[in-house]
Amino acid sequence: MTTAELRAVPGVADDLSVWPASTTRLAHGGLAVGGVSLAEIAERFDTPAYVLDEGEVRGRCRRYRDAFPEAHVLYAAKAFLSRAVVRWVDEEGLGLDVCSAGELELAVTAGFPPERMVLHGNAKPPHDIEAALRLGVGRIVIDSPSEIARLAAAVGPGGHQKVMVRVVPGVSAGGHEKIRTGTDDQKFGLSPVDGSAQEAIGRILGQPQLELVGLHCHIGSQIAEVEPYVAAVRRMVGLMARIRDGHRVTLRELDVGGGHGVAYRPGEAALDPTALARGLRTELVAACAAAGLPVPRLAIEPGRAIVGPAGVALYRVLAVKHTGARLFVAVDGGMSDNPRPALYGVRYAPRLIGRASAADSRTATVVGRHCEAGDVLAADVPLPADVRPGDLLAVPVAGAYQLSMASGYNLVGRPPVVSVHEGRARLLVWRETLDDLRSRDVGG
């Protein structure tokens, strides 16, 4: 079926299934999110801009809390973090998974209790460890043998720190090879296969100031199936049983990470938290019963699944160009605010907003403004054939791993973040200006 034929089928070209639940259609081709017109946001805050639906973020936090009432649910800050997001996550009762002193200190200064945080990182700088100990982070996940003595020395002989060990469970899952982290051929974690995990555990148990409370694993990202997580739990419980037998230590916690997949385009699969909770709970109880272990407290770390579908990116069309059989639509953002298509080949579903079009669809490639041939935001997507400079494009599922991985390429300032909720829009993060960029350059 051609894109023109798809456009003629009711509900196909106009599918809002991957948009925030608060999204409504307005007259003349407009959309509102959180009760606020996206076109009005573009006029008020300029473009490119990122819109974050507070109600969607909170609703997704609650969905996880309802699905995992007995577990520790930690929001993965690396997906996107700001003071407002810290407050929303805190008020919804989630913990925080942080990966740097920057994320940790931002959260603490915004009022988040550090004891509800977990610090990750395959190579933690001394400053990160110092900040975690100074602020009282709840748990530090040890990722390599060299961290053990360094952390123990930083804690000091009279100190105490709860730790976990990141284990590679030998489960391969994820939407792209660059985000598969559950096997031995990548930089994260310690392997039970070569004995490095068991050796590290033995060394930790020999450090009285370090309290080993559990194991951690993270098998990958953008995973839409439950079975890989079930397989990881099975293997982790097996290792916990071997630790009990070898060291007479029963670990009380098991963190199975995050990586929960979301749909970026209509029809794509997404991981269901309720189905995940059911599968994990069933396997955990059965595996622990078979091993004669008490059931440890489960922890999970959703990030993308909470904030990703709550975000919308807004761009203004700058140029439309026909090159051979291809139609290029160039916008005022690109890989500096969203490197994911270049990194992982992610595909989005941009939409014309702000005006109605009766034109048939045409397959277009939406590109950014940067000096890279790989600066493509969305390849081979249907847009009205009469798309023109000045039009607005909105890209849903833009809340995760876009601004958090944004760069200063071409000295293009990063876009602002605007929250919407119950008909009100407010600025959360201002637009990075040329003055901001100049202020860092002290050479003369």
Q: Pick the catalytic residue: 99, 217, 288, 371?
A: 371
Task: Please count the residues of the chain.
Answer: 444
For the CA atoms of the chain, what is the radius of gyration?
Answer: 23
Q: Among this protein's residues, is 288 annotated catalytic? A: no
SS (H, E, C) the chain: CCHHHHHHCCCCCCCCCCCCCCCEECHHHCEEECCEEHHHHHHHHCCCEEEEEHHHHHHHHHHHHHHCCCCEEEEEHHHCCCHHHHHHHHHCCCEEEECCHHHHHHHHHCCCCHHHEEECCCCCCHHHHHHHHHHCCCEEEECCCHHHHHHHHHHCCCCCEEEEEEECCCCCCCCCHHHECCCCCCCCCECCCCCHHHHHHHHHHCCCCEEEEEEECCCECCECCCHHHHHHHHHHHHHHHHHHHHHCCCCCEEECCCCECCCCCCCCCCCCHHHHHHHHHHHHHHHHHHHCCCCCEEEECCCHHHHHHHEEEEEEEEEEEEECCEEEEEECCCCCCCCHHHHHCCCCCCEEECCCCCCCEEEEEEECCCCCCCCEEEEEEEEECCCCCCCEEEEECCCCCCHHHCCCHHHCCCCCEEEEECCEEEEEECCCCHHHHHHCCCCC
C-alpha span between 437 and 235 (Å, rounded): 48
CB proximity list for 87: less than 8 A, separation 6 or greater = 110, 111
Joined together, the tokens standing for residue 1 give: 């079926």
| CA nearest to 269, candidates 358, 201, 194, 175 | 175
Q: What positions carry a catalytic annotation?
A: 371
